[in-house]
Structure 1
């Protein structure tokens, strides 16, 4: 990691400076230039990077026996409830569900090699070379999985102002990419399947209770659910990859008869059908009069990653 970037990160992670203005002052630069330099160098905004590393530190402390209340206030949160909400969004489970040290990792998905490692090492370089969002250089899986959840969020955002009539209008009669899911003839059906498709797999992998699959049509509710699902999905894929469990099998007892799946098959399966449905949703959005040529709706992962890295204006 270059010395200039390390100095920027020191300013971001200094516990005495929790605001962008204070971080920038420590680096002797303007807030705008500081934020842009950190984003270009690390692939994250200063605030997002600091928030993630603090949550990773909190998770590490919980794994090593700290209680939730002390951890919440040490992390700078004004209430245990606020900390628990932020933690659950990031990890997919509440602080009390954090596994003990040695039984699970505490790192969150990151566009760089910067993580909380221990009380004596606040961040580490993962050894990927240039620290800028390096899944781009070779980690195809990470790029695909991250782009998938981000693109679903973009599609949901584009639907925020559509009426119920537009959402439920039949635009593609007979469409059913996966017959067991039911039809994808309307935008509402496509969005619902995009958001919840991963949930049964996550429950099966974790050995948890199956989720409520009663269809939801409210866009705000779908966005909230997607935030939860995507955090758990990213963490699950990360842990499978870290432990090299791609060839492991799970048995889905809900199938009749029960059916076995490799973890690698599950992830490829989801990425394939999600990509199809994301493009299907764009076709339906265009049919509803939405301009799908807008930059934030570009489905190309190249464009998405360049924008995420701050390489596009």
Structure 2
């Protein structure tokens, strides 16, 4: 029974991820798995936390974003390939998803073409990419970081609101990080480190004054994770580990290698996650250890 269920899911994934930009009828999908249209939609949504329509739209926009950032294809052509009747309709949908216009996205250095999703399945050239499946060490470290950060945010949602702002520790691990004493401040610091580096890489000014409600923290986590994993993937593909980057935002400007940035982020993320786990224990919540092996065994 389990094998049959899994086979149906694989058929659904294959059908819904193929021919992006073209209309895919629900009856066609239902017939392929020998089920009713309502059941196929419910099966997919229960497993992947998206309706088939939402899934296809997200993958189509991710493919469009990939094409924008990796090719010189015209935006109008990309819009038509994505199944939109006009450039205006595509621009509205793209801006709603990525918070920037297609033109601005194309101008961004090393942009992430992944959109936030609970199921972790994304467009990749010629296939799908599952976030949690990778043999690469860099991917594993960032995936573990994202997984544990999300786990902590979910635990924070279950706490009484006043406990988020109660002093539960002292996190001041380097002179360039402001001290953090509450869960909210520590979670903000964990996310902000990646945001600051991404802004520097894109030549943008970044401010520490970011929204810190739990929904905002979750949204910021998704954005920074996908952007950093895409940045790391680009560096690997091009073999640019030793390329030097001048951070003009620093006073005075400083030079870093791409591999140094990745090593810095994952190292300090691990330290901050440990402070957070200890802070949760002060509040009576045990979220386990900071060990990537726990994530790898899932």
Aligned to 2:183: 187
Instruction: Specify the SS of the correspondent of 1:197.
Output: helix
Instruction: Check whether the contact 1:194–1:277 (CA below 8 A) recurs between aligned residues.
Output: yes
Offset of residue 304 of structure 1: 3.3
Question: CA 1:289–1:84 in structure 2 vs 1: closer, same or farther (change >3 Å)?
Answer: same
Post-superposition shift, 1:47? Answer: 7.3
1:166 alignment counterpart: 163
Distance 2:157 2:51 in 1: 25
Can you list the C-alpha shifts for 1:134-173, whole angstroms capped at 9, x where unaligned?
A: 853x311112122222322221222124345312222224
Give the one of 11, 15, 24 matched to 1:11: 15
Return the match for 1:279 from 266, 274, 283.
274
Tell me the equivalent position of 2:33: 27
| Separation (CA, whole Å) in 2 of partners of 1:228 and 1:271 | 16
Q: Note the aligned Cα RMSD (angstroms).
A: 4.3
Q: Structure 1: how far apart are the matches of 2:138 and 2:214? A: 28
Match of 2:75 among 66, 69, 83: 66
SS at match of 2:246: strand
Task: Note the C-alpha offset of 1:265.
Answer: 0.8
Q: Given the alignment of the two structures, is residue 249 of structure 1 paired with residue 244 of structure 2, yes or no? A: yes
Q: Distance in 1 between matches of 2:57 and 2:293?
A: 26
Mapping for residues 101-120 of structure 1, pairs under 5 Å: 108=114, 115-116=124-125
Contact 1:68-1:95 at 8 Å conserved across structures: no
Alignment correspondent of 1:198: 194
Higher RCO (CA-CA < 8 Å; seq separation 6+): 1
Question: For residues 112 and 286 of structure 2, what CA distance do their matches in structure 1 show?
Answer: 40
Q: 2:96 aligns with which of 85, 94, 104?
A: 85
Which of the residues 213, 226, 235 maps onto 1:231?
226
- For residues 108 and 16 of structure 1, the distance between their equivalents in structure 2, rounded to whole angstroms, comes to 22
Contact 1:148 1:275 in 2 (8 A): yes
The answer as to whether partners of 2:186 and 2:272 remain within 8 angstroms in 1 is yes
Answer yes or no: is the 8 Å Cα contact 2:274–2:290 preserved in 1.
yes
How far did 1:247 drift?
A: 0.4
Aligned to 1:152: 149
Query: C-alpha distance in 2, partners of 1:186/1:105?
Result: 32
Query: How many Å apart are 1:176 and its aligned residue?
Result: 0.8
TM-score, scaled relative to structure 2: 0.71
1:181 Cα deviation (Å)? Answer: 0.9
* Contact 1:27–1:34 under 8 Å retained in 2: no
Contact 1:68 1:80 in 2 (8 A): no
1:55 counterpart residue number: 61
Partners of 1:104 and 1:167 in 2: CA distance: 34
2:295 is the alignment partner of 1:304:
yes
CA distance in 2, matches of 1:104, 1:215: 22
Checking the alignment, whether the CA contact within 8 Å between 1:169 and 1:186 is kept in structure 2 is: yes
Residue 204 of structure 1 deviates from its aligned partner by: 1.8
Provide the secondary structure at the position in 1 that maps to 2:245: strand
